[in-house]
Amino acid sequence: MDRDKAIQGHLLAFVTVFIWGTTFISTKILLRSFSPVAILFLRFITGFFALLLIYPRRLRVEERRRELYFAGAGFCGISLYYLMENMALIYSFAANVGVIISTAPFFTAILAHFFLGGEKLRWRFFAGFAVALTGIFLISVNGISNFQLNPLGDLFAVFAAMLWAVYSVLIRKIGEFGYNNILVTRRIFFYGVVLSFPALFFFPLDLAVNRVTDPVNLFNILFLGLGASALCFATWNAALKILGAVKTSVYIYMVPVVTVAASFVVLREKITGLALLGIILTLAGLFVSQDKTGDKQGEEKDLLEEMGGAGIRQS
């Protein structure tokens, strides 16, 4: 591979994960002015029209039952996932939420094992899972000991990680249909927004013009809707094409690290020794659980299928 091309690929991957890692901070800031559902609507309606401008074509679905997969992905990966994530950010630190949600691959592996005929779960997986759970426990206990947080926030983050696992299984199935990724993402955005309407019975939409046009709020809305959705979708896919799925996937581990650093700098969130130990254990467990002994070609295929919707989750 050409050296300049490789540098370009690494730069694209780094920019992408940097944006993804700071989305939790943007959401935390927006929660000062908007409800969790309002942020969800603003974020994904913006992302929907951005993708429509990028690729103004229509997705034609041959079999009607396939729409159920798109609706399921939108419901789990947009409606419920982001509602849980936004609720978590109300009660917990952005750093906590970012790290806990990074454990989604654990739950994805379990579901894939039972529903997609995935590989046998080896001892590394269970060892890593145990270490990561210990880390999550320490993060939550730290909040209780400081009397600053409600552990309910961390619980919402765990639920979000589980929902993302369900979404990942659905997106892998959708990947077998062979549709264009942008069209698939846009269709999932559509279902996610539509299926979020029932939440309005519990949360106000509160989209007052003066709040939306506030410079800080407007910047963060555009950052989430355009930057983290449309832009990162393009930069991540470009990095995948240059570096390959395996090399690019390493950058995913940087997302919670960026979140922790950004939450400290921007939100002034304090990171105690106990919380730092919990973060390190969670990330270490995630790293240990990844089995690198499998077939490389199969690993590339699985990563490409799951990362096809990466722009949705981290957007």
Structure tokens at 145: 């000991």
Structure tokens at 190: 């559509």
Q: Answer yes or no: are the C-beta atoms of 95 and 157 closer than 8 Å.
A: no
pTM for this entry: 0.83
Kind and range of the H or E element at 247? helix 245-249
pLDDT of residue 150: 61
- Please identify every stretch of the chain with a pLDDT value under 50, giving residue numbers as ranges: 147, 293-295, 297, 299-301, 303-308, 310-311, 314-315
Structure tokens at 295: 């077939």
pLDDT of residue 271: 75
pLDDT of residue 113: 78
pLDDT of residue 291: 58
pLDDT of residue 79: 95
Q: Would you list the DSSP string of 202-213? A: TS-----HHHHT
Measure the CA–CA gap between 174 and 177, rounded to whole angstroms: 5
Position 275, amino acid: A
Measure the CA–CA gap between 52 and 37, rounded to whole angstroms: 22
Measure the CA–CA gap between 78 and 210, rounded to whole angstroms: 26
Measure the CA–CA gap between 192 and 79, rounded to whole angstroms: 5
pLDDT of residue 204: 81
